[in-house]
Amino acid sequence: MLSPIARAALLAFRGSATKTWYVAAQIQNLLNKDYETAYSYNSPRRGAHVTTGWQQ
């Protein structure tokens, strides 16, 4: 059986828009499951982050 942390779905992506610009996206707890790794320590709900950046 998988641990609660292993069952929490995470989706991440990073791709190049051009040679110097990139886009990254991440969704935590994709399935929006309720779980706690220890008594009374609930884990965060679904969250999403989008990042753009420049690299030389």
| CA atoms of 46 and 33, how far apart (whole Å) | 8
**Report field, pTM of the whole predicted structure over 0.75:** no
Q: Residue 4's pLDDT band (boundaries 50, 70, 90)?
A: low
30-47 pLDDT, tens per residue? 777 776 677 777 777 888
Q: What is the pLDDT of residues 10-35, one digit of tens each?
A: 778 889 988 899 999 988 887 777 76
Q: How far apart are CA 39 and CA 54, in angstroms?
A: 42
Under DSSP, the state recorded for 35 is -
- Give residue limits of the domains in the chain: 4-54
Mean pLDDT of 44-55: 88
